[in-house]
Amino acid sequence: MKTPTISLILLLILSCSLAASAAGDFLQCLSEKSDNYSSISNVVYTSNNSSYTSILKYSIFNLRFATNSTPKPQAIITPEHESQIPAIIHCAKEACLEVRTRSGGHDFEGLSYVSRVPFVVIDLINLSEITVDAESKTAWVEAGATIGSLYYRIAEKSPVLGFPAGGCLTIGVGGHFGGGGYGLMQRKYGLAADHVIDARIVDVNGKILDRESMGEDLFWAIRGGGAASFGVVVAWKVQLVDVPKNVTIFQVDRTLEQNATHLIHRWQYIAPNIDKDLFIGVLTSRSSNRTVLVSFFALYLGGIDTLLPLMQQSFPELGLVRQNCAETSWIQSTLAFGGYPIETPLQILLNRTQPTKGFAKDKSNYVKTPIPQHAFEGIWEHFYKAEAMSGLFILMMPYGGKMAEISESAIPFPHRGGNLYLINHAIGWLEENARDSESYVSWSRRIDDYLTPYVSSNPREAYLNYRDLDLGVNNVVGETSYEQASVWGKRYFKDNFDRLVRVKTMVDPGNFFRNEQSIPPLHY
């Protein structure tokens, strides 16, 4: 091992002393700027606090960003009211600290709680209140609430109202809504962000704005454009949707030996074009008996007696029978897709503890033309690589229906008509294999390369909430050109990227709210 040079050692010492100074300046500023410092001081945690590490790690889902070498924030602030946030923003600017905002921690690249420069985290876990108005079919949802808690509060008020958000119940709504937010009712109703009708955001100047005061350009940008690029969204007002008293769910599993390859090939032609009340997704994984398992899972907004003839007419090859199905309430269906038996008490929806944690790498692509059957056979070969033994899956979520009816420019999320489905492929591994992390990440890259001829191009599209730093990053320390940022920006947002840059230039010209893939202002 080479001995560090004197200049490098001095640089490291200087960096540490500058970080410590910035933290001190930040805390001193908070004591001066906060109307009630004793109140906010109770929710400020530094490395000197015994609770610091547990609070930092509590919401982290991907343990790749919870190692000893991962950069840690100078402070974590868990505000109990939106009025505490302006002082945090002001003091972070004064101390030259970056701000990262976290609402749930299901952050595939850890950008909400990791930075390469000195930073603080605003953790919105305490801003989790939900107010449902069943009469107007609306709800105000604070950004730190989880999807599961939103579903629970809706069900408290009405058995025939729901919301088209994701199936993973512990996701914080802040990032989910800010990036679009898909789920099993997207073919009927579109995305979560399509149903946001108001919001409250703290801007770079510390002003708390609603839809009227922020203006339509900023309101457009935060619904699917990555809200953290523009400020700290503290609450969302959403329009709820009608759901029937009874819905039907099913899961049919097939192995390669049971003709799964042919079935998944046929699925591509059927799922995006079937009745919009029916969502049939596909989850492909390694089974315990060393073969590939393809699971067809579905939510139908109606009863079994209507679903069975629909499936017999549209997808008879799957062989769906009544015994595969369960008719239940919409709220109980969310339990099933969250990994629980439908008989589980609904209070589990309020649990924000991550059921499992591990190391992971995810990527996403969009498919516009059906993938040939022989190409799927090539995908299966990747499932038998050594890295795949630890745990991997490919998730395919069908589009069509309402998703094809909404304009690409309605909100920043542009992946609408012309897309058959979204592919999310992910690989996970245990902490005991952490030293081999790069080999698992390489597996993810290899299968992504394999998919290149079969997925969208010019641009090759990707989903913002499946953030992937392999696509390119901003220089968060220095300047990033429009051309550099557009490498990933066009993949997430297509032509909407240009409008997002204009909005960013208007509301945050100094680029205070930034991360490795934030929207840059024009002059950066």
Active site residues: 466
Is residue 461 within 8 A of residue 367, CB to CB? The reply is: no
Is residue 127 within 8 A of residue 143, CB to CB? The reply is: yes
CA distance 327 to 299: 10
In terms of Cα–Cα distance, which of 286, 284, 279 is closest to 264? 284
Spatial neighbors of 383 by CB under 8 A, at least 6 apart, are 284, 286, 292, 392
Sequence-distant contacts of 302-311: CB under 8 A, at least 24 apart: 302/244, 302/246, 302/247, 302/248, 302/277, 303/244, 303/246, 303/248, 303/327, 304/248, 307/248, 307/250, 307/278, 310/274, 310/275, 310/278
Is residue 269 within 8 A of residue 313, CB to CB? The reply is: no
| 3-state DSSP assignment of residue 119 | strand
Is residue 61 within 8 A of residue 28, CB to CB? The reply is: no
Nearest 5°: CA angle at 460, between 456 and 466? 105
| 3-state DSSP assignment of residue 492 | helix
Is residue 396 within 8 A of residue 454, CB to CB? The reply is: no
Query: Which tokens belong to 517?
Result: 């893939």
